Amino acid sequence: MPMDNLSTLSTGKVTALISFVGGTGIMALFYLTNSDAIAIAGIGYAVVMGFINLFVLGHLVYHYFKEKVNRKKILKTSAIMLLNIPILLGYCWFALFLFDTIRVTLRNVSNTQLNNITISGCEDKFASELGPGQSKTFWIHIPHGCGISVDYYLSGQSVRDDISGYIPKGRGRIINFDIGIRHESTDANP
């Protein structure tokens, strides 16, 4: 096999690996932060790496037709590079899912157990109890613009907290929200 062809095979494998590792890293950061800046960086990365992959893949196709030997290795390297396409599509689907999802982590900061915890607004969620110092994460779909509140019982009194005001569809986020702070009861008479 000519040296240029070996170099092209190595370049194809390295390009596929860099594309996968970089894309996975950006997806992981977006999952952890739900940051618009990371989403935009991810789109830019996908476009740049897409052009680089197309160029390298074009070079592999050129060598496939130019060389009559070792076509299997060229096809194998091309297939490895093309595997990044369904991975990219999967990451895009997951990112869109995250854009339409609010991840609310409720933390009980009281010294008592909280009962009948109900999140309402975009989508209703329920937890029977949350002990002192415990937390629970709820994944809430945003079908349309909406707000989110939580109702629970603290020392036998009904409490309502607004977690977030209006959230438009496509503006998913991560919210850490402390509950169990003494508030005025929603059942109290003025």
CATH of the domain at 161: 2.60.40.2890
166 vs 30, 118, 122, CA distance in Å? 22, 18, 10
Structural domain includes residue 144:
yes
Q: What is the mean pLDDT of residues 1-19?
A: 79
**107: phi then psi, degrees, rounded to nearest 5:** -120, 125
pLDDT in tens, 81-117: 999 999 999 999 999 999 999 999 999 999 989 999 9
The reply to whether 168 and 80 lie within a common domain is no
The reply to whether 16 and 63 lie within a common domain is yes
Instruction: Give the residue numbers spanning the domain of 15.
Output: 3-99
> Is residue 55 over pLDDT 60?
yes
Decide: 126 and 167 in contact? Cβ < 8 Å.
no
Structural domain includes residue 189:
no
Structural domain includes residue 108:
yes
pTM, rounded to two decimals: 0.77
Q: Alpha carbon 16 to chain centroid distance? A: 22
pLDDT reported for residue 4: 60
Structural domain includes residue 188:
no
SS3 (DSSP) at 120: strand
**Tally of domains within the chain:** 2
The reply to whether 91 and 8 lie within a common domain is yes
pLDDT reported for residue 45: 94
Q: CB count, 10 Å around CB of 109? A: 14
Residue-averaged pLDDT of the chain: 88
SS3 (DSSP) at 86: helix
Q: What is the mean pLDDT of residues 132-149?
A: 92
pLDDT in tens, 163-172: 998 999 989 8
Q: Is 41 exposed, middle or buried (0-12, 13-18, 19+ CB in 10 A)?
A: middle
The reply to whether 88 and 121 lie within a common domain is no
Q: CB count, 10 Å around CB of 102? A: 25
SS3 (DSSP) at 160: strand
Nearest CA among 119, 173, 168, 120 for reference residue 145: 168
Structural domain includes residue 157:
yes
Q: Where among 44, 70, 99 does a domain terminate?
A: 99
The reply to whether 73 and 108 lie within a common domain is no
The reply to whether 21 and 106 lie within a common domain is no
pLDDT reported for residue 8: 80
Task: Round the CA-based radius of gyration of the chain to a whole number and report it.
Answer: 25
